[in-house]
């Protein structure tokens, strides 16, 4: 019975997203639609990064690297799959949907694997060292793409077609993936494993004393987080004609950090709000491009001094509406 209800709920959610897509494509200009898509992609990035930075308390400032792996991976696989899938299914929307989703999953797989490779050595390190190592890996990944000639080196990867990568990304796919990822991360966060991750954040030594396999859990959370960044990267890649190493500079990682800090480290609803905030504020500040990062930087400093737990802290919006007790009201802390 539950399975039937769940399938019905999932189907109706997809139907609602499809209905919204028809509405959005009819009702908004191309420009506004692009902002909406970016907001969705940002939400995926923020919710994924929040799992490792907020819930687990292991600060990564190099997630742009994993987004890049996902973007390049999805673009490359998408291009290579195009011919065989079209041969099997013929041209049309179904074939495109199959190619796109397989490509996204491949991108997520590559990103998750690179997260595993990066995470295994570096997550043995304490907080601030980890931040520097992730930054370093993010840069190394970008330098590697910059020199990978089969992926177009510094010019970027535009596929085999002269018109660039196919524009698969639309409202439906972005928000279908956003919903799936938010639900998955939410369920993970409030599962037993999620409690263990929170325990690692609150006191790693105590968690270890309670026989929590801290390193294994941290690496797993890191890999999942990297994989979600990979999905976001794949969606991002198919929104524009190509993938360029330039798109994944350190600033991109900082944007992600701003998203989760504004909303509240450790809160999924906070991350969603933060992702939307960054997408909208980036567009509002388009004319003030050169002031954008100055303002973001000031915002980071002021939030840290005045309200280090962010807008929501670790609270969740829906817990308020449903009068559930929040899991833990205090902001993320770390043992000395």
Phi, psi for residue 273 in degrees, rounded to 5: -60, -45
| 66 near another protein (CB under 8 A) | no
Residues 6+ apart with CB under 8 A from 45: 63, 67, 228, 229, 232, 256, 259, 275
| 285 near another protein (CB under 8 A) | no
In angstroms, the CA 315 to CA 331 distance is 9
Among the listed ranges 156-164, 179-187, 224-232, 326-334, the one in contact with another protein (CB under 8 A) is 326-334
Give the three-class secondary structure for 243: strand
Minimum CB–partner distance for residue 207 and another protein (Å) = 12
| 293 near another protein (CB under 8 A) | yes
* Pick 97 or 293: Cβ nearer another protein: 293
* Pick 73 or 332: Cβ nearer another protein: 332
Burial classification of residue 48, based on how many CB atoms lie within 10 Å of its CB (0-12 exposed, 13-18 middle, 19 or more buried): buried
| 155 near another protein (CB under 8 A) | no
| 117 near another protein (CB under 8 A) | no
Restricting to residues 40-59, which ones interact with another protein according to CB under 8 A? 57, 59
In angstroms, the CA 30 to CA 171 distance is 12
- Tokens 């919903």, residue located: 179
Integer CA distances (angstroms), 19 to 26, 148, 167, 193, in order:
11, 41, 20, 35
| 334 near another protein (CB under 8 A) | yes
| 69 near another protein (CB under 8 A) | no
In angstroms, the CA 38 to CA 27 distance is 17
| 288 near another protein (CB under 8 A) | no
> How many CB atoms lie under 10 A from the CB of residue 302?
10
Query: Token pair for residue 233?
Result: 């990267």
Among 265, 271, 272, 278, binds another protein (CB under 8 A): 265
| 124 near another protein (CB under 8 A) | yes
* Pick 164 or 331: Cβ nearer another protein: 331
Among 11, 210, 284, 301, binds another protein (CB under 8 A): 301
CA nearest 205: which of 334, 59, 119? 334
| 328 near another protein (CB under 8 A) | no
Give the three-class secondary structure for 131: helix
Phi, psi for residue 25 in degrees, rounded to 5: -70, -30
* Pick 34 or 249: Cβ nearer another protein: 249
| 140 near another protein (CB under 8 A) | yes
Taken in order 247, 251, 257, 263, the sign of the CA dihedral is negative
* Pick 22 or 129: Cβ nearer another protein: 129
> By the criterion CB under 8 A, which residues form the site for another protein?
57, 59, 61, 121-122, 124-125, 127-129, 131-133, 135-137, 139-140, 143, 146-147, 205, 250, 254, 257, 261, 265, 290-291, 293-294, 296-301, 304-305, 308, 331-334, 336
């Amino acid at each position: 019975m539950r399975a039937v209800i769940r399938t019905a709920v999932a189907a109706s959610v997809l139907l609602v997203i499809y209905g919204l897509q028809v509405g959005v494509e009819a009702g908004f200009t191309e420009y506004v639609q692009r902002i909406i898509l970016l907001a969705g992609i940002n939400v995926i990035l923020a919710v994924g990064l929040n799992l490792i930075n907020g819930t687990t308390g292991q600060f990564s400032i190099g997630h742009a690297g994993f987004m890049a792996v996902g973007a390049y991976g999805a673009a490359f696989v998408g291009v290579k799959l195009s011919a065989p899938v079209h041969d099997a299914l013929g041209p049309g929307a179904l074939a495109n949907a199959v190619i796109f989703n397989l490509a996204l999953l491949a991108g997520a797989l590559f990103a998750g694997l690179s997260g595993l490779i990066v995470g295994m050595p570096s997550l043995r390190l304490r907080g601030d060292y980890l931040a520097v190592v992730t930054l370093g890996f993010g840069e190394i990944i970008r330098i590697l793409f910059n020199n990978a000639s089969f992926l177009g080196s510094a010019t970027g990867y535009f596929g085999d077609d002269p018109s660039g990568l196919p524009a698969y990304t639309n409202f439906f796919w972005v928000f279908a993936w956003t919903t799936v990822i938010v639900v998955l991360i939410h369920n993970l966060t409030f599962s037993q494993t999620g409690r263990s991750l929170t325990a690692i954040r609150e006191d790693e030594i105590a968690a270890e004393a309670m026989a929590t396999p801290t390193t294994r859990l941290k690496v797993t959370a890191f890999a999942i987080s990297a994989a979600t960044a990979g999905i976001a990267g794949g969606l991002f890649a198919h929104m524009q004609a190509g993938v360029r190493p330039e798109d994944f500079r350190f600033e991109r990682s900082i944007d992600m950090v701003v998203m989760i800090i504004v909303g509240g480290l450790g809160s999924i609803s906070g991350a969603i709000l933060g992702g939307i905030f960054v997408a909208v504020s980036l567009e509002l500040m388009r004319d003030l491009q050169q002031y954008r990062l100055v303002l973001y930087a000031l915002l980071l400093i002021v939030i840290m001094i005045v309200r280090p737990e962010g807008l929501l802290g670790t609270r969740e919006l829906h817990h308020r509406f449903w009068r559930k007790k929040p899991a833990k009201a205090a902001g993320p802390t770390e043992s000395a």
